[in-house]
Amino acid sequence: MKRLFSGYFWIGGDKMFQIIWQHTRRWQRVCLFAAPLVMLMEVFCDLQQPTLMSKIVDTGLAGSGHPQFILQTGGVMLLIALVGACSGSGCNALASYASLKMGQRLRNHLLSLALATRNGHDLSTPTLITRITNDVIQMQNLVMTLTRSLVRAPFLLLGGIVMAFLISPRIAWILAIVVPVLLLFMGLVIRHSVPLFTKMQQAIDRINRVMRETLLGIKTVKSFTLENQQQQLFDQINQQVQTSSVAAQASVIILAPVVTLALNLSIVAALWFGGGLHASHLITTGQIMAFVNYMIQITTAMINTVNTVSSLSRAQTATARIQAVLDLPQDAEPTATVALPTDTTLRFEHVNFAYPGGENVLTDIDFELPAGAKLGIIGTTGSGKTTLVDLLTRLYDPTSGRITIGGVPINQLSLAQLRQQVAVALQNSVLFSGTIASNLRYGKETATDAELVVAAQAAAAADFIAARPGGYQAQVTQRGNNFSGGQKQRLNIARALVAQAAILVLDDTTSAVDLATDAHIQQALRQVRQGKTTIMIAQRIAALQDSDLILVLDHGHIVARGQHATLLQESAFYREVAVAQLGKEVLTDA
């Protein structure tokens, strides 16, 4: 029997308990232990009822009857039933409290790990969302199962067998035959069904992933008329879900009929042999009735045990998926060893970077940007421009070399210090649900309304904000879908300006705005950023030509550097882009 259950009942069992234990605290752990104890009280109360009923039949109804005994025993049965009901409710309350608190802590932990991971991982956003939501719910259900069903069913099964032997030992041999056979059959069902339920859960995970990806990328799907293709993919995976679900349910569908058949045959045998013993005055009617009731409790507990074990397969899959998030490589938060430098001279010293298992994305990046200067970066797609910014903000760490601000290596600064010094506006403008003002204050929580207005004006966003009902209190929907691409970019710039950081990084943040608006933004930036370090990544030469230093990147290498006029003479790529955008007159002007 052990062999039947081993490898299936406790798949990932150690990880399950470890995750649950790590994400509960003192009172939740008390509840985890108290809930099963309270459930045992309910099981004890349920096991007393058939015995008390047999006493009513054998004593209270014997002869001319004993109404007072019937009332007293009936009162005891009612009292025990109330205690059992209260115990069951108490177990539910304790288990629910522990489960909900564990789920809350686990969700917070998983999200914090996803946010803290800086060096990349293979888990996509839809996968993380599924694991933080659906899989955590499965873990909550596991806590409820462990503290309720997994306690009630086995103890009711064991207790029913013991009570049946105690009250009717002369016909208990029926159980000695039926119970081992049913346990063997139950083990075979579990051994066959648990892998199938695991496979079903994996299929459900795949369909969730496809649905999330399709809905999140619905604009792309419609733009390329991929509706039929995505529908076919969904239908294919949906069919897999149906097939695996049918197989899983079919593996346990025979359980109830077989157990019920065994129960009915056992009852017939109990009545047959019990009747003979009753005729010989070797057993009472009440004992036969109690024995039959215990048999019903035993077989019901068997069915519930199999259903409980089968449901654990979902938690097993969820455990493995949650553990993958918990195992994400985490970089220790650096403890600040130096004070925040006042000098903002930026230095990249022979920096190289490669993603894990890949080739260099950046190679021998070496330059110095004096405090208060403007750096322009231009290059082909995939040349490493954004990666360079990611290294500066320590979303990733260099493979070799170092980056310093004011002569201080940035890995000696805490992330809070570093990001207080550096504000970034990325090309992918993400807005959060809330108001325009709340989004702008992501740059600085304590920013005044006047500071928001100044930043919005510099980003050419003040006019369309004023045009909206509510102005700065206008609502922003999820991901800013009620704003155009250009408007989101301008709000993104304004958010970075609100921070008033010593170093401002703009990563191609005006690609979706028209040339006139872009020119207005560049002029405003010159005024509000005067004397402060600015790094601008752009494909428009007009945004870069006033830079103190311009870097031309190609395949992760700096292939040219200098000011606008110098690069027109020395860089064929830069000259070609400038002529294409500004006309041949730019060569004459230079």
HSE-up of residue 433 (Cα within 13 Å, Cβ side):
2
Distance CA 345, CA 343 (A): 6
Over the range 14-41, which residues count as b (16 or more CB within 10 Å of their CB) and which as e? eebeebbeebbeeebeebbebbbebbbb
DSSP, collapsed to helix, strand or coil, labels residue 434 as strand
Start-to-end Cα distance in the chain: 87
HSE-up of residue 1 (Cα within 13 Å, Cβ side):
8
Q: Provide φ and ψ at 349, rounded to 5°.
A: -110, 95
Q: Which amino acid is at 502?
A: A
Q: Are 206 and 317 in contact (CB under 8 A)?
A: no
Strands of 400-405's sheet in order across: 360-369, 346-354, 400-405, 408-409
Angle between helices 173-216 and 227-253 (to 10 degrees): 170
pLDDT of residue 411: 85
- pTM for this prediction: 0.73
Determine the Cα angle at 468 with ends 466 and 470, to 5°. Answer: 85
Mean pLDDT of residues grouped by 10 in the chain (590 residues)? 43 74 90 92 93 86 74 92 94 93 93 73 72 88 87 90 89 88 84 81 81 81 85 91 89 82 87 86 88 88 78 75 82 65 89 86 93 91 88 89 91 82 84 91 89 92 92 89 88 91 88 85 86 88 90 92 91 90 74
| Tokens encoding 327 | 């195992």
- Pair type for strands 374-379 and 533-537: parallel
Distance CA 175, CA 172 (A): 5
Q: Which of 307, 319, 296 is nearest to 139 (CA)?
A: 319
Over the range 329-366, which residues count as b (16 or more CB within 10 Å of their CB) and which as e? eeeeebeeeeebbeebbbbbbebebbeeeeebbbbebe
Q: What is the dihedral of CA 136, 140, 143, 149, to 10 degrees?
A: -130
pLDDT of residue 239: 93
The neighbouring-strand residues paired with 374 are: 534
Q: Are 296 and 53 in contact (CB under 8 A)?
A: no
| Tokens encoding 32 | 């985890």
pLDDT tens by residue, 480-517: 888 888 899 999 999 999 988 889 999 888 888 888 88
pLDDT of residue 343: 85
| Tokens encoding 383 | 């040349």
| Tokens encoding 420 | 């207080």
Cα 426 to Cα 228, 249, 493, 537, distances in angstroms: 34, 49, 8, 10
Over the range 116-138, which residues count as b (16 or more CB within 10 Å of their CB) and which as e? ebbeebebeebbbebbbebbbeb
DSSP run (H or E) holding 353: strand 346-354
Q: Which amino acid is at 357?
A: G
DSSP-derived secondary structure for 101-166: HHHHHHHHHHHHHHHH--S--S--HHHHHHIIIIIHHHHHHHHHIIIIIHHHHHHHHHHHHHHHHH
Burial degree of 551 (CB within 10 A; 0-12, 13-18, 19+): buried
| Tokens encoding 124 | 């996509």
CA 544, chain centre distance (Å): 41
* HEC letters along 382-410: CCCHHHHHHHHCCCCCCCEEEEEECCEEH
Distance CA 481, CA 486 (A): 12
| Tokens encoding 52 | 């008390």
pLDDT tens by residue, 1-21: 444 444 444 445 577 888 888
pLDDT of residue 396: 85
DSSP-derived secondary structure for 271-323: HHHHHHHHHTTSS-HHHHHHHHHHHHHHHHHHHHHHHHHHHHHHHHHHHHHHH
DSSP, collapsed to helix, strand or coil, labels residue 10 as coil
Q: Provide φ and ψ at 460, rounded to 5°.
A: 60, 35
Distance CA 321, CA 315 (A): 10
| Tokens encoding 277 | 């013993």
Q: Which amino acid is at 534?
A: T
Distance CA 434, CA 529 (A): 28
Q: How many residues does the chain have?
A: 590
Distance CA 432, CA 156 (A): 52
Distance CA 429, CA 84 (A): 58
